[in-house]
């Protein structure tokens, strides 16, 4: 497969910019060839001037003419240089924008399993440095390639036309420059890359120490943290020094090669200057040669740079392709069949469901039960018993390996994803809040301006027992959360996540231990309010507390990946089993004064 396939699509849209860049660059490079010629004409004018003030004036007029022409050429070049910058760099920025957008859109459709494989840092480096490398190889890479080839060809043609033998004599060292750039240049890049990786590790170590500062203090681990950080610094320094050494050889060597050509010109050109009159090269001719030589040095290096930048860009686009070409593991049907009737007696049903993660054995091994409209079903199991896994199957954050999950009687895989997820709200075990305002966090499921839904948001916050707290914040619902805003307590976060779910007006509300950080009294306030506010909404809630589970109509207990008990809380309390155990432990804990 062509590694550039995604790139080409976006590149084609910008081809007029690119064509403009090429045209401007070619013109600049051609005009550049005229400058040494004009220089030669001006100097020859002086050399050939006869004696006497009249001749001097004539020579001066000639020099002024050539100088004026040079000025005109340079002015034209200035304008055209702006053109090629806009062309090449503008094109590369636009393609980068399109690629970045495509990347972001792709990531939004990806399945959680994908994010388990690719780590966050990895994704970020693709989004930042790989995209930058692609942009560079597009803008800078194309520019240096085209500039290098045309400048070298044009210049050599003009030099050969002036003196073929001299050209051959002086250009040999120059030809080694691209070889050097490619070989030693690779060493430079390897070291740069290794140094970059070590710097990443260093900032990773620092970030972790800072965010874990409290734990580090609590365990008095400062010394060992300092030592760990010191080691990372030393590794980075060692690698950076190697880079310095390689670069200290690389750049001077480049200029030595360029200088050798200059030296050869002094020697062979000098011999030509010294020939008897008639055969000798004019001073103007010599100066012109020198000007050509000077202007070819950079393009010869540029050819090497462009090959490096191509290699870098190719590696990066390959890494990006891995994301672009990843298949979203979960896809819904594109054609929306008419949605099933909501006048049924089951909202959610699990039918012999098996499920698990990646290559690990099944966590769920044949779970079957149903949830009816308006019914509250509690879900209990030991730690790691598969409760979260089960909840994730309903909105298809994960798919069942075997069996079926149905919403309103239809297999969830037959629902268009958007429609399915609009009907289900999940409050995750670890609530996630965005660094936005309280209002924006609550109205997250709404596409329009959050302000339009202010009343509903307040209502949802009231139900979640959050309104008073929010009203007490300095800017109320407009208060920013997170990083640079207010930080909420665990229980407040949970209630905010709950308000977000209530606001979404789902048919099915999934609460994954959503009251774990809320005390029993608050929970007992929220639950009835939730019931009255959301009549007919089915609730499936995970909890580790009997007091919470007793609020439910039914409780399902999972053991060994299967349903071990299913009944009203009172029924389950009459039976030996996990629920009874939980209740006994909680009761004992209360007796000894350990509020759970
Ligand atoms: N992302 C994951 N990748 C691989 N295995 C996982 C993943 N998440 C959970 N598991 C495994 O699946 C099993 C069930 O986990 P799950 O989170 O569903 O349990 P749980 O009942 O919600 O536990 P808890 O009561 O602690 O919340 C555990 O053994 C866990 O190790
Ligand atoms: Mg869980």
Binding site membership of 387 for ligand 1 (Cβ less than 6 Å): yes
Index of the ligand 1 atom closest to the CA of residue 390? 18
User: What is the C-alpha separation between 344 and 433, in angstroms, rounded?
Assistant: 34
Binding site membership of 386 for ligand 1 (Cβ less than 6 Å): yes
- Rounded to the nearest whole angstrom, what is the distance from the C-alpha of residue 325 to the centroid of ligand 2? 32
Residue with CA closest to ligand 1 atom 31: 384
Q: Is the Cβ–Cβ distance between 299 and 173 less than 8 Å?
A: no
SS3 539: strand
pLDDT in tens, the chain (596 residues): 888 899 999 999 999 999 999 999 999 999 999 999 999 999 998 888 888 888 889 899 999 999 999 999 999 999 999 999 999 999 999 999 999 999 998 888 888 878 877 777 778 878 888 899 899 999 999 999 999 999 999 999 999 999 999 999 999 888 888 888 888 888 888 888 888 788 878 887 888 888 888 888 888 888 998 998 999 899 999 999 998 998 899 889 888 998 999 999 999 999 999 988 888 889 999 999 999 999 998 888 888 888 878 888 888 888 889 889 888 766 777 666 777 877 788 999 999 999 998 888 999 999 999 999 999 999 999 999 999 999 999 999 888 999 999 999 999 998 888 889 999 999 998 888 998 999 999 999 998 899 999 999 999 999 999 999 999 988 999 999 877 667 888 889 999 999 999 999 999 999 999 888 888 888 888 888 888 888 889 999 999 888 889 889 999 999 999 999 999 999 988 988 888 888 888 888 877 776 54
Residue with CA closest to ligand 1 atom 23: 384
Structure tokens belonging to residue 510: 């999934």
User: What is the C-alpha separation between 339 and 590, in angstroms, rounded?
Assistant: 48
Residue with CA closest to ligand 1 atom 19: 384
Q: Whole-prediction pTM value?
A: 0.74
Which of 353, 358, 381, 386 should be mutated for ligand 1, with most atoms under 8 A from CB? 386
- Rounded to 10 deg, the angle between the 283-324 and 15-48 helix axes is 170
- Rounded to the nearest whole angstrom, what is the distance from the C-alpha of residue 95 to the centroid of ligand 1? 41
Q: Which one, of 59, 70, 71, lies nearest residue 37 by Cα? A: 70
- Rounded to the nearest whole angstrom, what is the distance from the C-alpha of residue 374 to the centroid of ligand 2? 23
User: What is the C-alpha separation between 127 and 118, in angstroms, rounded?
Assistant: 13
All structural domains of the chain, each given as residue ranges with its CATH number in brackets, are 5-324 (1.20.1560.10), 348-591 (3.40.50.300)
Structure tokens belonging to residue 176: 């080694």
User: What is the C-alpha separation between 135 and 401, in angstroms, rounded?
Assistant: 42
Binding site membership of 383 for ligand 1 (Cβ less than 6 Å): yes
Binding site membership of 363 for ligand 1 (Cβ less than 6 Å): yes
Residue with CA closest to ligand 1 atom 22: 388
Q: Is the Cβ–Cβ distance between 350 and 390 less than 8 Å?
A: yes
Label residues 139-157 b or e (16+ Cβ within 10 Å = b). bbbbbbbbbbebbbebbbe
């Amino acid at each position: 497969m062509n590694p550039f396939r995604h790139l080409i699509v976006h590149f084609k849209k910008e081809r007029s910019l690119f064509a403009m860049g090429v045209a401007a660059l070619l013109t600049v490079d051609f005009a550049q060839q005229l400058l040494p010629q004009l220089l030669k004409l001006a100097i020859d004018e002086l050399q050939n001037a006869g004696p006497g003030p009249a001749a001097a004036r004539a020579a001066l007029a000639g020099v002024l003419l050539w100088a004026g022409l040079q000025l005109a050429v340079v002015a034209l070049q200035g304008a055209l240089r702006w053109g090629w910058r806009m062309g090449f760099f503008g094109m590369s920025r636009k393609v980068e924008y399109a690629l970045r957008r495509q990347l972001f859109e792709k990531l939004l459709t990806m399945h959680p399993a994908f994010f388990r494989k690719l780590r966050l840092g990895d994704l970020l480096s693709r989004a930042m440095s790989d995209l930058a490398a692609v942009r560079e190889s597009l803008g800078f890479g194309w520019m240096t390639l085209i500039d290098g080839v045309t400048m070298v060809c044009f210049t050599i043609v003009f030099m050969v036309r002036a003196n073929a033998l001299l050209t051959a004599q002086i250009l040999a060292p120059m030809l080694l420059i691209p070889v050097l750039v490619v070989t030693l240049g690779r060493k430079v890049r390897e070291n740069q890359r290794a140094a970059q990786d070590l710097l990443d590790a260093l900032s990773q170590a620092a970030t972790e120490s800072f965010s874990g500062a409290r734990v580090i203090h609590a365990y008095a681990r400062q010394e060992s943290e300092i030592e760990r950080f010191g080691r990372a610094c030393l590794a980075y320094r060692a690698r950076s020094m190697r880079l310095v050494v390689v670069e200290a050889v690389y750049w001077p060597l480049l200029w030595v090669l360029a200088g050798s050509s200059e030296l050869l010109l002094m020697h062979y050109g000098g011999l030509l200057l010294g020939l008897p009159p008639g055969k000798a090269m004019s001073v103007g001719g010599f100066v012109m040669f020198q000007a050509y030589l000077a202007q070819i040095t950079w393009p010869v290096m540029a050819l090497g740079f462009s090959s490096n930048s191509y290699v870098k860009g190719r590696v990066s686009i390959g890494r990006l392709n891995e994301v672009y070409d990843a298949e979203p593991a979960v896809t819904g049907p594109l054609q929306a069949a008419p949605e099933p009737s909501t006048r049924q007696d089951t909202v959610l049903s699990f039918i012999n469901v098996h499920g698990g993660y990646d290559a690990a054995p099944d966590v769920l091994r044949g779970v079957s039960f149903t949830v009816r409209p308006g019914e509250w079903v509690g879900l209990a199991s030991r730690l790691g018993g598969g409760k979260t896994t089960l909840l994730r199957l309903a909105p298809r954050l994960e798919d069942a390996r075997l069996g079926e999950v149905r919403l309103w009687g239809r297999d969830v895989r037959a629902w268009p994803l958007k429609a399915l997820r609009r009907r289900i709200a999940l409050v995750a075990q670890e609530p996630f809040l965005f660094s936005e305002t309280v209002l924006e966090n609550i109205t997250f499921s709404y596409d329009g301006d959050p302000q339009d839904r202010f009343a509903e948001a307040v209502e949802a916050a009231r139900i979640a027992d959050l309104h008073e707290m929010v009203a007490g914040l300095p800017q109320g619902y407009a208060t920013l959360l997170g990083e640079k805003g207010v930080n909420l307590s665990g229980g407040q976060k949970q209630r905010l996540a709950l308000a977000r779910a209530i606001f979404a007006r789902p048919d099915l509300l999934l609460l994954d231990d959503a009251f774990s950080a809320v005390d029993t009294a608050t929970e007992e306030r929220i639950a009835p309010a939730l019931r009255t506010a959301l009549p007919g909404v089915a609730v499936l809630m995970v909890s580790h507390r009997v007091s919470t589970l007793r609020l439910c109509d039914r409780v399902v207990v999972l053991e060994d990946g299967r349903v071990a008990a299913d009944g009203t809380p009172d029924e389950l309390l009459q039976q030996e089993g996990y629920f009874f155990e939980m209740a006994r432990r909680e009761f004992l804990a209360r007796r000894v004064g350990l509020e759970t």
